[in-house]
Amino acid sequence: MNWWKEDIVYQIYPKSFKDSNNDGIGDIKGIIEKLDYLEDLGINTIWICPFFQSPMIDNGYDISNYYQVDPMFGTNEDLYELIDQAKKKNIKILFDLVVNHCSDQHEWFQKAIAEPNSKERNYFIIKKKEEITNWRAIFGGNSWSPLPNSNDEEYYFHVFSKEQPDLNWENPELRKEIYKMINFWLDKGIKGFRVDAITYIKKNQQFPNFAPDGLDGLAHVDKGSINQPGIESFLKEMKTETFDKYDCMTVGEAVGVPYKDLEQYVGDGGCFSMIFEFSYDNPSMPSQGNWYDYKQWTVDEWKQKIYKAQKHISKIGWSPTHIENHDSPRSINKFLHPDQICGHSVKMLATIFFYLRSTPFIYQGQELGMSNVHFNSIDDYDDISTHDHFQRALNAGFKEEEALRLISPRSRDNARTPMQWSNSKYAGFSEVTPWLKVNSNYQNVNVDQQLNDPKSILNYYKKMIELRKQKKYCSVLVYGEFSPLFENMKNIVAYQRTNNEQTIYIINNFQSEYCEIEVEMPFKVLLNNYTDITVSSQRLIYLKPFQSLVLDIE
Task: Work out what residue 166 binds among Ca ion, ligand GLC, none; the CB cut-off runs from 5 to 8 Å by kind.
Answer: none
- Angle of helix 384-395 relative to helix 400-407, nearest 10 degrees? 140
Q: Assess contact for 45 and 92: CB atoms under 8 A.
A: yes
Q: Is 58 in the site for ligand GLC (CB under 6 A)?
A: yes
How many C-alpha atoms does 61 have within 13 Å on its Cβ side?
21
Binding mask 186-225 for ligand GLC (x = CB under 6 A): ----------xx----------------------------
Least distance CB 523 / Ca ion (angstroms): 49
Q: Which of 8, 16, 27, 182 binds Ca ion (CB under 5 A)?
A: 27
Least distance CB 157 / ligand GLC (angstroms): 14
Least distance CB 458 / Ca ion (angstroms): 24
Q: What is the dihedral of CA 296, 299, 300, 301, to 10 degrees?
A: 40
Binding mask 393-432 for ligand GLC (x = CB under 6 A): ----------------------------------------
Least distance CB 549 / ligand GLC (angstroms): 34
Which residue type occupies 95?
F
Q: Which of 4, 47, 61, 353 binds ligand GLC (CB under 6 A)?
A: 61
How far apart are alpha carbons 506 and 496 in whole angstroms? 6
Task: Work out what residue 21 binds among ligand GLC, Ca ion, none; the CB cut-off runs from 5 to 8 Å by kind.
Answer: Ca ion
Nearest to 273 by CA among 303, 317, 325: 317
Q: Assess contact for 519 and 553: CB atoms under 8 A.
A: yes
Query: Nearest-5° angle of CA 196, CA 201, CA 204?
Result: 145
Strands 548-553 and 523-528: antiparallel
According to CB under 6 A, which residues from 314 to 343 bind ligand GLC? 326-327
Least distance CB 391 / ligand GLC (angstroms): 17
Residues in contact with Ca ion, total (CB under 5 A)?
5
How far apart are alpha carbons 464 and 42 in whole angstroms? 10
What is residue 222's three-state secondary structure? helix
Task: Work out what residue 27 binds among ligand GLC, Ca ion, none; the CB cut-off runs from 5 to 8 Å by kind.
Answer: Ca ion
How many C-alpha atoms does 373 have within 13 Å on its Cβ side?
28
Which residues belong to the active site?
A: 196, 253
What is residue 482's three-state secondary structure? strand
Least distance CB 196 / ligand GLC (angstroms): 5
CA 145 to chain CA centroid, Å, is 28
What is residue 87's three-state secondary structure? helix
Q: Which of 2, 21, 433, 452 binds Ca ion (CB under 5 A)?
A: 21
Q: Assess contact for 281 and 326: CB atoms under 8 A.
A: no
Nearer Cβ to Ca ion (25/349): 25
Task: Work out what residue 324 binds among ligand GLC, Ca ion, none; the CB cut-off runs from 5 to 8 Å by kind.
Answer: none
Binding mask 237-256 for ligand GLC (x = CB under 6 A): ----------------x---
Q: Which of 32, 48, 98, 112 binds ligand GLC (CB under 6 A)?
A: 98
Q: Which of 12, 25, 98, 138 binds Ca ion (CB under 5 A)?
A: 25
Nearer Cβ to ligand GLC (329/480): 329
Burial of residue 485 (number of CB atoms within 10 Å: 0-12, 13-18, 19+): middle
Nearer Cβ to Ca ion (18/175): 18
Nearer Cβ to ligand GLC (276/429): 276
Which residue type occupies 479?
Y
Give the N- to C-terminal CA distance of the chain in Å, as an integer: 26
DSSP bridge partners of 144: 157
Burial of residue 129 (number of CB atoms within 10 Å: 0-12, 13-18, 19+): middle
Least distance CB 31 / Ca ion (angstroms): 11
Least distance CB 477 / Ca ion (angstroms): 38
Task: Work out what residue 383 binds among ligand GLC, Ca ion, none; the CB cut-off runs from 5 to 8 Å by kind.
Answer: none
How far apart are alpha carbons 38 and 45 in whole angstroms? 9
Which range binds Ca ion by CB under 5 A, 21-29, 92-100, 279-287, 299-307? 21-29
Nearer Cβ to ligand GLC (365/484): 365
DSSP bridge partners of 361: 9
Residues in contact with ligand GLC, total (CB under 6 A)?
9
29 Cβ partners below 8 Å, 6+ apart?
Answer: 20, 21, 74, 78
Nearer Cβ to ligand GLC (59/228): 59
Nearer Cβ to ligand GLC (249/506): 249
List contacts with ligand GLC (CB under 6 A).
58, 61, 98, 160, 196-197, 253, 326-327
Q: Which residues bind Ca ion (CB under 5 A)?
A: 19, 21, 23, 25, 27
